[in-house]
Amino acid sequence: MKKLSSIFILFVLGMACFLCAVNAEGNSRLFTNGTIYIDAEQKAQNLLVKDGVVQAWNVDLSEYRDAEVVDLEGGVAYPGFIDSHVHLMEAGYFLYVGADLINCKDADEMAKVLSKKAKSVSGDGVVLGLGFSLVDYDKWSLADLAKIDAVTGVHPALLLDKLGHNAVINTAAMKLTGVTPSTPVPLGGKMGVEDGKLTGMFRESAMILPANKIVAMSDPKDIKAGTKKMAQRWASMGYAGAVDLMGAPGIRMMWPEIFKELEKEGELPLRVNYCYTIFNLSDVDNAAKYVGQDTDLVRFAGCKIFIDGAYAGGQAWTSWQKQAG
């Protein structure tokens, strides 16, 4: 009887070990037959991943016969990238609802693209656009504004350039936001003026004057949809995480809650470390509200601060320098 009990115990222990081994291998994936980068210098012949976490590399394949084998077919595998400076929410929203101005180099090209977008905007809707790039921003004139007005009509238009440090608004947007040639310009900013009239060009901190008022009219559903699409695009390029600077010189889109909603819905494909944009000291208290509210994929990374001294001294992409103040 004692011998049978011992055999039974050994049998149970053996089955337990077997089941544990099967479970361990069954949840594992082996990546082979490709160039597998461990870091900038090391490469591996194979990679063992369990439950989405790298366990080892260059393992003996015969020890993991029950693991799922992923044949890279000569392809390349990299560790997930982390982008330290993105504007996923802002770019995603503007490209989702607005006109893609990426290839536009002057007012004529911008007007051509905007004419199609403006026709799809109804009622008191706003025409948005993103991505234009001019050879000389200082040469933007009233004649250029007239070309934008001609296609956008009564619809307010807010158009951001590729850098996000310059914006063009049309005459309807000027009326909506109340900006005039006599409107005080924040330190470090510049408004285009010709013959005593605004040309519609707002640069650096001057963008604050019209842009935040227009963005405040945005539909949160569109912001969420655009953010989701941009996050998916970023993840498709191999990014596993990003530092999202939620604000530019003239625009603040401070809605980390949208990222958290996407996470809850299982629709956020990468980790987001977001920064709160601070324009004034009073913003510090608002930023502090986000401390300790982190989730697995959405984390408060600190603040993005615009310093008056840096503005006044000019920046790499400005055409003016060392202004008083």
43-75, pLDDT tens digit by residue?
999 999 998 888 999 999 999 988 999 999 999
Q: How far apart are CA 192 and CA 137, in angstroms?
A: 9
CA dihedral 27, 31, 36, 42 (to 10 degrees): 50
pLDDT tens for each residue of 297-319: 999 998 877 654 444 444 555 66
Q: How far apart are CA 56 and CA 48, in angstroms?
A: 5
Distances (CA, A) of 312 to 109, 227, 241, 325: 32, 33, 33, 6
Q: What's the confidence (pLDDT) of residue 251?
A: 80
Judged against a pLDDT cut of 60, whether residue 23 lies above it is answered with: no
Residue range 222-267, pLDDT digits in tens: 999 999 999 999 999 989 999 998 877 778 888 999 999 999 999 9
Domain boundaries in the chain?
A: 2-79, 90-215, 219-311
Superfamily of domain 2-79: Urease, subunit C, domain 1 (2.30.40.10)
- What confidence score (pLDDT) does residue 318 get? 62
Q: Is the model more confident about 142 or about 254?
A: 142
Q: Is the pLDDT of residue 24 over 60?
A: no
What confidence tier does 281 reach under pLDDT thresholds 50, 70, 90?
confident
Average pLDDT over all residues of the chain: 86
Helical H segments across 105-241, by residue range: 107-119, 142-152, 171-177, 208-215, 220-236
Which pLDDT belongs to residue 261? 97
Q: What is the CATH number of domain 90-215?
A: 3.10.310.70
For 47, the token pair is: 């990679």
Has residue 203 got a pLDDT over 70?
yes
Longest dimension (CA), the chain: 108
Q: Please tell me the predicted confidence (pLDDT) of residue 114.
A: 97
List CB contacts of 174: < 8 A, sequence separation 6 or more: 180, 198, 200, 210
What percentage of the chain carries pLDDT values higher than 90? 62
pLDDT band at 269 (very low <50, low <70, confident <90, very high): very high
Q: Is this model's pTM higher than 0.75 or not?
A: yes
Which contacts qualify for 276-283: CB closer than 8 Å, 24 or more apart? 276/246, 276/247, 276/300, 276/302, 276/303, 276/304, 277/245, 277/246, 277/247, 277/248, 277/252, 277/303, 277/304, 277/306, 278/303, 278/304, 278/305, 278/306, 279/208, 279/252, 279/306
pLDDT, average across residues 89-115? 96
Confidence grade of residue 9 (pLDDT, cut at 50, 70, 90): very low
For position 14, what pLDDT does the model report? 43
Report d(CA 84, CA 132) in Å as an integer.
23
Whole-number pLDDT of residue 11? 37
Rounded mean pLDDT, 129-139: 93
pLDDT above 60 for 322:
no
Is the distance from CB of 241 to CB of 272 less than 8 angstroms? Answer: yes
Token pair for 127:
């025409």
Which is more confident, 321 or 128?
A: 128
100: pLDDT strictly greater than 90: yes
Strand pairing category for 166-169 and 190-194: unpaired
- So what's the pLDDT on residue 224? 97
